[in-house]
């Protein structure tokens, strides 16, 4: 057959119950259970070139053998053509082809266009593209290869030859523009890879790499009057030669105008202009004001300024030259004609000042060459030649009540007329006041005043204190002193004469009114003290004849007639949390009213703290503290160890022990309650936190192994198992038992250097709390040992026993085995908390490595759950016990015609009970055979010396057969009998003479047991016999 094709098979079978196709290759059948399937070869079939397919027929009678027939398929390689890679050429080039062929009987070249091959019968012809090839831009060139027999399919390889055209460009027609204008170019180009514009001048393109850029002429372009612009169209690869096109741009001149230099005239004069123009079509004069030209169409007209020109003081005169086409922008030149105005003066408004004031003048002048102030009186200016001098009136001015001031302005040339302005300054006299003579009154009296005023606009009485007048606007008012007046013992009463505007200074006359004070008492500010403190008082009295301290409570003064007495609170004061202290002052005559002052003394209770009771936790636990504090400020937890609090300032917080805490096994935690001010003594309390190292163990129902690396606080068995004692059936070491149901304990205390076999009625959780043992080594004796796991992590079994002469390590009441002589390790690791049986050839020591959290402990081979596997068999499940016999199943002893991967081996006692099984996975493995559990009433395992019978459950047929076993005599237990801690290996096995049928848990056997040692029972079932002569 040929590569790429499938093969139609045509088989025949006779006298077959069924048939199936198979292959030694990697191909597939569309249906492997019909006689005429189609076979599709796989890639490995094609690579090999030869494969074999087999038709296997199963017999009608199950006692007969199957028969097979095979045929060989040879796979011939298919033809292959390769025309090469796609390519691109220029329209003026040819193309050299390089084709290749494999398994071809002939070939030919074909073109989809109108080009030609120099020789289409060679693999390397030269192709010349035609006109249509260039127009379409590409052509397909195909190499057709004819196959060798028996292949019939030709192969075609096609490349695409792209034809690139040469560039063509047109820069456009010549253009004329004004020298200030940019040029919009409108070029065309085709078949180009890129564009670039070039200029013979100094102008610039906005983008020199596009067809329609804008060209802005430079100074030299305008000076020369033209520029040549070239468009360079670069060819697209693989074409090489560019195309160039040129356009000429001519530049016409802009008009030029000059109106002349700026000038100045008097406001009553006209001005003679003298302008200049070039390159203009016409020109005209214009004004920014309202003046007039005698002729605005000549270069030297006369301009007469208008009223607005005079008002503004200047005017702009512009000469505009109009352009000649194609220029569009006119040119304008402007000169400024300045106009000088005549002078003016303004001395300001008439004014009124007080006799003690000066006057700030505010004159204004315009168009002045100079100016000067003058007076008609005897006053003086600080400067007569500034616009805002200060004038100080003289005695005559004050007496006269007014004076006339003038501002004289001189004109700027050529103006000759001066200007003068006058202002009158009026002067007001100051007021005078007299309050009367000083006086003395009592604090409870009023006072009759008698004052006088002159030159006053108004007058008013005022006080420096807080008393009141019956009428402040009469000269004979009555004054009643206020509390502040009385407190100060004196008050100033003033009579103020207000000036007549614009005078601003009032005249004030003051009399002193003295006042005798009433008595005043002050006990001081309220205060707070601690219950263990006294209080230093600091009272004050004024105008006192005598004073005394008193209390509302039961405390005492050291001296109740001292302002700085010390008060000591009594028991009732402390219980009531406060007490009132009273200072009473007697007045000086003639005053009769006493004064009383009190203060509140608050008593702050000392703080108290409670850290809570002592506690015990495990090493991997944190401890929740529930302290308390009363009458305190902030609290703070502290430790004498190295742990940490999640919130040391909260009475309820969580403590996380540190490494030193864990090492020490205990830590003291202290809560400190800070005193509330003013108390200074803090309160503290401590609790002792015991930190045990804990190992949590989960022990399954039934038998298992148990151990611990933790030295328990109390190693007594009753203490360790006190929470699960009802579920504990028995605990065994190699030398003793702990059997609580029978009140038997020959083990004594828990020993971390021993492993234990344990049986429980229900799954239990057990925590062993104590200290972390520093012991990590274990002495092993020759023979069997029951060892603990002295590590908090799982330990790789192979590494642990690498330096020892270990024979075997087995799981207690389980299937895990490490048997190095047979290269068997489905145990993998020793699990922390479990125990294991170890058989040693000699005395040795093992050292458990330091536990590294997260590190890999290694793995063994696949160790399936035997009880789970047995669910697929007709056999009943069984219970495990620590009493086991290990049987090795080496690969070389297993006959592949008898046992195949997936089959299950079982071991049975004489009564047909299965007490051991294993799954065969085509590698060295073991079978764990379980002995009888003496703690149960039924037989649930082998007795010592029981015969071992083997059966095989064939996974593919779901049938069970007897096995005949030969034992390896190099191992101690090769007699085929069960032995506690027995160690055997199978030398070879073969099918027995009997097939076993098992349905619904009942056996229907031809002969059992075989060979027989006692009695046998037989049962025949015709449908399962190979002859019609079956008997019962």
699-708 residue pLDDT tens: 999 999 999 9
Backbone dihedral region of 556: left (phi > 0), alpha (psi from -120 to 50 degrees) or beta?
beta
The residues that bridge with 846 in the sheet, in sequence order, are 778
CA distance 730 to 378: 138
Report whether 304 contacts 292 (CB < 8 A): yes
Report whether 941 contacts 890 (CB < 8 A): no
Report whether 76 contacts 150 (CB < 8 A): yes
CA distance 471 to 448: 11
CA distance 127 to 143: 13
Q: Is 281 helix (H, G, I), strand (E, B) or coil?
A: coil
Please give the CATH architecture assigned to the domain spanning 608-691: Sandwich (2.60)
| Nearest residue to 809 (alpha-carbon basis) of 790, 784, 846, 845 | 784
At the fourth CATH level, the homologous superfamily of domain 256-340 is: Cadherins (2.60.40.60)
The residues that bridge with 885 in the sheet, in sequence order, are 929, 982
Q: What is the mean pLDDT of each run of 10 residues along the chain (1032 residues)?
A: 87 91 93 93 89 92 84 88 92 91 90 91 92 90 88 89 91 90 92 91 93 93 91 90 92 91 88 91 93 93 93 93 90 92 90 91 91 94 94 92 92 81 91 91 88 90 94 94 90 93 90 86 93 92 90 94 94 92 85 87 92 90 92 93 94 93 90 92 93 91 95 93 94 94 94 95 93 89 96 94 95 95 94 96 94 56 69 88 95 88 94 93 93 92 95 92 94 94 94 58 44 47 38 36
Structure token pair of residue 116: 């030609």
R_g over Cα of the chain = 64
Task: Tokens 């055997």: give the residue.
Answer: 984
**8-state DSSP, 690:** E
Report whether 728 contacts 788 (CB < 8 A): no
User: In this structure, what is the dihedral angle of CA atoms 641, 644, 649, 654, given to the nearest 10 degrees?
Assistant: -110
Please give the CATH architecture assigned to the domain spanning 432-516: Sandwich (2.60)
Q: What is the pLDDT of residue 854?
A: 55
Q: What is the pLDDT of residue 249?
A: 92
* Helix spans in 99-203 (H): 131-136
Q: What is the pLDDT of residues 432-460, one digit of tens each?
A: 999 999 998 888 888 999 999 988 889 99
Residues in Cβ contact with 905 at an 8 Å cutoff, skipping those fewer than 6 apart = 889, 899, 917, 918, 920, 927, 950, 951, 952, 953, 963
Report whether 812 contacts 882 (CB < 8 A): yes
Give 80-164's CATH code, choosing from 3.40.50.1970, 2.40.40.20, 3.40.309.10, 2.60.40.10.
Answer: 2.60.40.10
CA distance 1013 to 1027: 27
Report whether 656 contacts 643 (CB < 8 A): yes
* Helix spans in 594-701 (H): 659-664
Task: Tokens 């003690």: give the residue.
Answer: 356
Report whether 316 contacts 259 (CB < 8 A): no
Task: Tokens 């560019």: give the residue.
Answer: 242
Give 168-252's CATH code, choosing from 2.60.40.10, 2.40.160.210, 2.60.40.1080, 3.90.1150.10.
Answer: 2.60.40.10
**578: exposed, middle or buried (Cβ count in 10 Å: 0-12, 13-18, 19+):** middle
Q: What is the pLDDT of residue 1019?
A: 42
Report the first-to-last Cα separation within the chain, whole angstroms: 59
Report whether 173 contacts 245 (CB < 8 A): no
CA distance 134 to 136: 6
The secondary structure of the chain in percent helix, strand, coil, rounded to multiples of 5, reads 5, 45, 45
Q: Distance of alpha carbon 121 from its chain centroid, rounded?
A: 70
User: Do you know the residue count of the chain?
Assistant: 1032
* Helix spans in 450-579 (H): 483-488, 571-576
Report whether 606 contacts 675 (CB < 8 A): yes
**8-state DSSP, 560:** T
Structure token pair of residue 238: 């693989």
Domain 352-428: state its class: mainly beta
CA distance 1005 to 1021: 9
CA distance 529 to 961: 100
CA angle 234, 236, 239 (to 5 degrees): 95
Task: Tokens 């620590």: give the residue.
Answer: 882
The model carries a pTM of 0.45
């Amino acid at each position: 057959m040929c590569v790429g094709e499938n093969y139609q098979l045509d088989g025949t079978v006779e006298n077959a119950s069924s048939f199936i196709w198979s292959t030694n290759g990697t191909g597939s059948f569309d249906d492997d259970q019909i006689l005429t399937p189609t076979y599709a070869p796989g890639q490995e079939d094609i690579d090999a070139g030869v494969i074999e397919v087999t038709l296997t027929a199963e017999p009608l009678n199950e006692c007969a053998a199957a028969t097979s027939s095979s045929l060989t398929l040879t796979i011939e390689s298919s033809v292959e053509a390769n025309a090469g890679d796609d390519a691109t050429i220029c329209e003026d080039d040819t193309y050299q082809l390089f084709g290749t062929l494999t398994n071809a009987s002939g070939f030919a070249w074909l073109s989809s266009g109108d080009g030609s091959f120099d020789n289409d019968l060679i693999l390397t012809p030269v192709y010349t593209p035609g006109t249509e090839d260039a127009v379409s831009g590409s052509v397909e060139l195909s190499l057709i290869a004819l196959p060798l027999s028996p292949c019939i399919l030709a192969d075609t390889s096609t490349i695409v030859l792209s034809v690139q055209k040469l560039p063509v460009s047109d820069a456009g027609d010549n253009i004329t523009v004004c020298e200030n204008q940019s040029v919009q170019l409108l070029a065309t180009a085709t078949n180009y890879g890129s564009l670039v514009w070039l200029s013979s001048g100094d102008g610039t393109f906005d983008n020199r790499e596009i067809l329609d850029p804008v060209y802005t002429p430079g100074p030299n372009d305008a000076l020369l009057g033209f520029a040549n612009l070239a468009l360079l169209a670069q060819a697209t690869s693989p074409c090489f030669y560019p195309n160039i096109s040129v356009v000429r741009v001519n530049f016409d001149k802009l008009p030029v105008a000059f109106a002349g230099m700026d000038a100045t005239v008097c406001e009553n004069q006209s001005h003679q202009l003298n302008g200049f123009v070039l390159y203009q079509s016409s020109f005209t004069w214009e004004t920014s004001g309202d003046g007039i030209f005698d002729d605005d169409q000549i270069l030297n007209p006369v301009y007469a300024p208008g009223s607005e020109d005079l008002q503004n003081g200047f005017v702009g005169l512009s000469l505009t030259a109009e352009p000649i086409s194609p220029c569009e922008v006119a040119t304008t030149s402007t000169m400024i004609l300045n106009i000088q105005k005549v002078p003016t003066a303004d001395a300001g408004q008439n004014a009124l000042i007080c006799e003690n004031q000066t006057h700030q003048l505010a004159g204004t002048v315009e168009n002045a060459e100079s100016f000067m102030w003058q007076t008609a009186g005897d006053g003086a200016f600080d400067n007569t030649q500034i616009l805002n001098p200060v004038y100080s009136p003289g005695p005559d001015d004050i007496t006269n009540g007014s004076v006339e001031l003038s501002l004289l302005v001189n004109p700027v040339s050529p103006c000759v007329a001066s200007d003068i302005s006058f202002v009158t300054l009026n002067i007001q006299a100051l007021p005078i006041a007299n309050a009367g003579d000083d006086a003395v009154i009592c604090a409870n009296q009023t006072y009759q005043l008698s004052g006088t005023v002159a030159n006053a606009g108004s007058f008013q009485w005022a006080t420096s204190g807080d008393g009141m007048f019956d009428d402040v606007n009469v000269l004979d008012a009555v004054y009643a002193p206020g509390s502040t007046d009385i407190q100060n013992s004196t008050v100033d009463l003033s009579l103020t004469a207000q000036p007549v505007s614009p005078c601003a200074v009032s005249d004030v006359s003051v009399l002193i009114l003295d006042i005798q004070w009433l008595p005043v008492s002050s006990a001081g500010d309220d205060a707070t003290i601690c219950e263990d403190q006294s209080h230093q008082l600091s009272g004050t009295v004024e105008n006192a004849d005598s004073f005394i301290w008193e209390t509302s409570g039961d405390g005492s003064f050291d001296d109740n007639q001292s302002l700085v007495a010390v008060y000591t609170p009594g028991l009732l004061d402390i219980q009531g949390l406060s007490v009132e202290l009273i200072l009473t002052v007697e007045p000086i005559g003639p005053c009769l009213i006493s004064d009383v002052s009190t203060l509140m003394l608050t008593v702050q209770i000392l703080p108290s703290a409670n850290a809570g009771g002592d506690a015990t936790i495990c090493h991997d636990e944190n401890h929740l503290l529930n302290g308390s504090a009363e009458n305190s400020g902030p609290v703070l937890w502290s430790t004498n160890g190295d742990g940490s609090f999640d919130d040391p300032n909260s009475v309820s917080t969580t403590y996380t022990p540190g490494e030193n805490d864990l090492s020490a096994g205990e830590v003291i935690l202290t809560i400190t309650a800070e005193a509330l001010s003013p108390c200074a003594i803090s309160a503290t309390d401590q609790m002792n936190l015991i930190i045990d190292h804990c190992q949590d163990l989960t022990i399954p129902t039934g038998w298992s192994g148990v151990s611990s690396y933790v030295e328990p606080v109390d190693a007594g068995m009753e203490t360790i198992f006190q929470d699960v004692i009802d579920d504990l059936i028995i605990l065994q070491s190699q030398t003793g038992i702990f059997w609580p149901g029978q009140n038997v304990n020959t083990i004594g205390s828990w020993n971390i250097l021993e492993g234990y076999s344990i049986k429980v009625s229900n799954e239990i959780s057990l925590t062993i709390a104590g200290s972390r043992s520093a012991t990590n080594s274990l002495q092993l004796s020759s023979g069997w040992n029951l060892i603990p796991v002295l590590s908090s992590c799982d330990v790789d079994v192979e590494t642990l026993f690498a330096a020892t002469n270990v024979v075997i390590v087995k799981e207690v009441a389980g299937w895990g085995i490490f048997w190095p002589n047979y290269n068997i390790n489905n145990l993998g690791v020793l699990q922390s908390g479990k125990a294991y049986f170890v058989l040693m050839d000699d005395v040795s020591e093992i050292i458990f490595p330091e536990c590294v959290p997260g590190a890999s402990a290694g793995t063994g081979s696949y160790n399936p759950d035997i009880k789970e596997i047995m669910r697929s068999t007709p056999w009943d499940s069984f219970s495990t016990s620590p009493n086991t016999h290990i049987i090795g199943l080496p690969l070389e002893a297993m006959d592949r015609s008898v046992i195949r991967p997936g089959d299950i081996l079982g071991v049975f006692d004489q009564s047909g009970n299965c007490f051991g099984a294993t799954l065969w996975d085509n590698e060295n493995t073991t079978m764990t055979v379980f002995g009888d559990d003496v703690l149960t009433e039924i037989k649930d395992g082998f007795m010592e010396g029981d015969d071992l019978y083997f059966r095989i459950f064939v996974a593919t047929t779901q049938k069970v057969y007897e096995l005949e076993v030969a034992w390896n005599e190099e191992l101690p237990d090769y007699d085929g009998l069960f032995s506690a801690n027995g160690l055997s290996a199978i030398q070879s096995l073969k099918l027995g003479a009997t097939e076993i049928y098992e349905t619904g848990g009942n056996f229907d056997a031809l002969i059992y047991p075989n060979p027989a040692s006692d009695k046998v029972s037989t049962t025949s079932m015709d449908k399962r016999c190979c002859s019609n002569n079956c008997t019962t």
